[in-house]
Structure 1
């Protein structure tokens, strides 16, 4: 339907000016022609464009928001976590049944083994029921989301006709051009090999990317215990090769005083810590208890920032003894050199412990190095010692976390609530720094409070808001 709009412009102000002009004489003494006061100037404006559909745009925005809220990575990982739990629990059930059969004396079964099997069956039944509910919910979400996406596509295509100046089409062309340029740049960087400084030798190759998240679970932790760490011991004791550990800061998200152990990933998932907890001290906080989330376990010893001090603590899990290492003068501690991004800092992350193929590392900052990252190799012993130290040029409070892999330090930065970037590396064998790695992580929660690399299985372990998440490190 053609819509026309007419506008009359009554130029009264202009009429007054013309009348004044008519009463004046020019320099030659000639009269300026007198205008008829009854004359009026009228303009007609015809708008042939269709009115912009504001209601359609609002509907599109509402549908897109609803789709974003319904389809989240957490829901996909919830299903994956349940599948992983069942995959690990079923072989355990078969093993327990085998033990029960061996204990059968013809008349009486082992009561203890029977109770274990009953508990396993109850837990498996609960997980199956939860899996069925989750699957049905996901099917409903997938069907609804598919229908909404089809409708959104049709509405957006219809709205493109209002882009008369080709702004949106040009924006899409620019995006395609930018992607092509990025791919060209990445390809060029991969083809260009450094000649001056060969990289550190790594048995897995060069670290190039990550996949995941793969594992996602809260275990048995209360949601209030937002800060902590978890992982595997790269140098475990005999019979503990498959164990996992977890530390939760149970006091003001700042202090911790025990470490929990789990015999398998499935035990960690369902929160069964059969080996129990290793307590550093019954009081929390007190001298030599844990301060901050960045802890690691190596060689059956827990390394962490000692409570309220610029010291490194080593807690021997077997002997339950603690040894201390006084760090160099000028080391910043007590939340003066945290990991940060623009909007937030993570309290009491002055020290970051890390493990890799060669052992334990300490990442921190000093006043002498102007708050930039300092990296030291921690030598095992009682007490531990710092051997070689490297000074970097990157400001510690400009990164959100760090980890080590094959003797190379990596740093991350905050991109958005859903994305983190591994952007920086420092090679300890050459001293070469890089600021353009461009390796991105899909996050399960906005802030990564703990990040460590496990040389046992080349996994990156993340702790955020009481959630344990893992990513697979890919090497070239």
Structure 2
């Protein structure tokens, strides 16, 4: 409302004013006041904004709670197994050697570390849920006060007018579509060929439905094969996806038996049961969403921050599948729901936002002052809509009620979890004590056995001496017996020494044997060009993974990290290996090993700890030219740490910022992987994404002497859909998820020619998620850090 107003109301609670000045003096002042009984929306807006934040936090924590439940079940099984092993050892200690006892001890230590890590995580969630409960309690108090202080009065004219216009627009769009599309309900077409630009209706009303709208009856059916482990790429917990089309009702899901690939099931509506199932060949976590049209499943994936693509279709009538490309525009970057409606042949998308703001402008009022043509002072007043928004307050009351109920349920669940973990730790400590006693008993048993042998040999020697003196003869037979006794005594001593060091010997022999096997495999497959050259046409395959061992910390919770060799080693360091890992993407400790045997034995010759202000982030680091290259977040930059520089302090660190690099885009398996360093036959590279590239990978060549950027290339691969990337002979290769145990090199970009190619080079993974993958030109291998394990691949070239 804009007008000229001269108004003063006493007993006011809100006021706005502006003064007009000219030539250093005041020409006029405008003031406007609202009475204290008039509703001001600021408190309600705060409640709605906080509700959005709480909803988001709650979703994140509920995802964690599901993970906690899975881990507790797994740890229970491991503790039961370990308890059984220890009981067997207690019953028959002589049947178990020192190596087996040490292995059980390490396993107990590993489970104990996992339980303590989970305990810490659950403590954090408890604090979050407690904070949520306190926040929601405060929100309830605010809503109660608003309800008591202001008379409810619905004024929604602006929103109704907006909705009316929007409906007219949609009707116009529908009539336009009817010209080209078949009749509603008909399947007289060969499939989808395009999707219109998005029509944005409004921000959601936060309505939930899980019951029959007319009878309020609940029904449920269990699908035994369905798994809760596989969700769509954009949202957790999307295990069942319901869909409807011209042929009826459907549900899609994934199972352990299908290895995460989408399963499509037809629902019999009267019985609410499954009629028939079809398995597709598209992996669910690699899909953004899916929907049904005329019995055909369409799967969608992300192309960039503004574009989705229908990339796959499966026809249940013919059981034929096709890879297609039907791009369409998104309104928001992420979305939680996508469904086709056969009654109007439209796709409905919900971007998942629940900020709950209405379409009205609930901003504060304001006053502006100006001078008219005749020199008079004009006051322009904008008054906000001050009527009480009853529907919004009522909705927020229901929201807060649901939130506090959920928070209380989760706090109770956490109390139960914490009780279980305390019992776990007690049981593990008890097992540790039992194993220590067994080790001591085993040592005593071994010592006693060898000591008994020595006593028996001494007694035998005394008997031979006595017999010789009694007979008073000299015979070669007695000399032979003496020699045999001395030899047997020596053998007993050697056996005892060997038994105490057999584990170390086995480790060394295992390392040598594994290296020989690897060399043998390499010789059989060795059709590659000479090391350091690029006389080939690119990668054609990878070998099966060589799983070396668990990381040097013997801790499977060290999921984030990397390992490998120096890609440009200094003289004398050609055989050196390195490792760095931690429970989060922030890594500060790196270990150097003189050769492969030392890596296996976890015997480092140097341990490097990055200074507090220079800690690495993102775990996409490499060692190149005797320096560690890694990402640093404060400031966001490339960092270089010299491994052998005699200088101390900050002088050993070098950093350079990349102005257009964004911290918003990471690889799909890990957060904060913004800068990915790579080395190949052509030198040093860094791979990232930018706002300008709309999240697509950018390859940059690093000038090593200046540690600056020489040249950049923008590729066509969207980073958040990529598992990882690496460089070979100036060509970037990008990987993506295919299934639980399969990854695929699906894309390449040649920086020399600017040519990009779509590839399909599948390879086996040891575990589903990996956080570091780099090619080393010094041995033509890929080094992967796979869920805490060292894994490597031989690269096969054309």
TM-score bucket of the superposed structures, by smaller chain: 0.5 to 0.7
Aligned counterpart, 1:387: 710
Aligned counterpart, 2:644: 318
**Structure 1 SS opposite 2:656:** strand
Partner of residue 455 from structure 1, selected from 765, 768, 777: 777
1:6-55 per-residue CA deviation (whole Å, 9 max, x = no partner) reads xxxxxxxxxxxxxxxxxxxxxxxxxxxxxxxxxxxxxxxxxxxxxxxxxx
Question: Any residues of structure 2 matched to 1:4-403 within 5 Å, and which?
Answer: 122-125=503-506, 202-203=534-535, 206-221=538-553, 222-248=555-581, 250=582, 252-273=583-604, 275-281=605-611, 286-319=612-645, 321-328=652-659, 330-333=660-663, 336-340=664-668, 345-381=669-705, 384-403=707-726
**Equivalent residues, number:** 280
Q: How much has 1:294 moved relative to structure 2?
A: 0.2
* Structure of greater relative contact order (alpha carbons < 8 Å, 6+ residues apart): 1
Partner of residue 441 from structure 1, selected from 763, 774, 785: 763
Distance 1:126 1:408, change over 3 A: closer
TM-score w.r.t. the length of structure 1 is 0.55
Q: How much has 1:464 moved relative to structure 2?
A: 1.6
Q: Does 1:410 find its partner at 2:733?
A: yes
CA distance in 2, matches of 1:290, 1:438: 33
Q: How much has 1:219 moved relative to structure 2?
A: 3.7
Distance 1:219 1:120, change over 3 A: farther
**Structure 1 SS opposite 2:580:** strand
CA distance in 1, matches of 2:500, 2:693: 56
TM-score w.r.t. the length of structure 2 is 0.33
Please list every run of 5 or more consecutive structure 2 residues that lacks an aligned counterpart in the other structure: 1-224, 226-255, 260-497, 513-532
CA distance in 2, matches of 1:241, 1:404: 21
Question: Would you tell me which structure has more helix in proportion to its own residues?
Answer: 2
1:404-454 per-residue CA deviation (whole Å, 9 max, x = no partner) reads 00110000000111000001000011000011x211110100012110001
Distance 1:119 1:206, change over 3 A: farther
Aligned counterpart, 1:105: none
Distance 1:405 1:125, change over 3 A: closer
CA distance in 1, matches of 2:721, 2:577: 31
Please list every run of 5 or more consecutive structure 1 residues that lacks an aligned counterpart in the other structure: 1-57, 59-64, 69-116, 132-200
CA distance in 1, matches of 2:510, 2:636: 50
CA distance in 2, matches of 1:294, 1:126: 30
Q: How much has 1:458 moved relative to structure 2?
A: 0.5
CA distance in 1, matches of 2:765, 2:749: 24
Structure whose alpha-carbon radius of gyration is higher: 2
CA distance in 1, matches of 2:643, 2:499: 33
**Structure 1 SS opposite 2:567:** coil
Q: How much has 1:128 moved relative to structure 2?
A: 7.3
Q: How much has 1:126 moved relative to structure 2?
A: 6.1
RMSD of aligned alpha carbons: 2.8
1:34-84 per-residue CA deviation (whole Å, 9 max, x = no partner) reads xxxxxxxxxxxxxxxxxxxxxxxx9xxxxxx99x9xxxxxxxxxxxxxxxx
Q: How much has 1:287 moved relative to structure 2?
A: 2.1
CA distance in 2, matches of 1:226, 1:398: 20
Q: How much has 1:256 moved relative to structure 2?
A: 1.3
Question: Is the 2:566–2:626 contact (alpha carbons within 8 Å) kept by the matching residues of 1?
Answer: yes
**Structure 1 SS opposite 2:687:** strand
Distance 1:421 1:126, change over 3 A: closer
Distance 1:316 1:118, change over 3 A: farther
CA distance in 2, matches of 1:472, 1:410: 15
CA distance in 1, matches of 2:500, 2:715: 53
**Structure 2 SS opposite 1:397:** helix
CA distance in 1, matches of 2:715, 2:499: 56
CA distance in 2, matches of 1:417, 1:234: 30
CA distance in 2, matches of 1:325, 1:294: 16
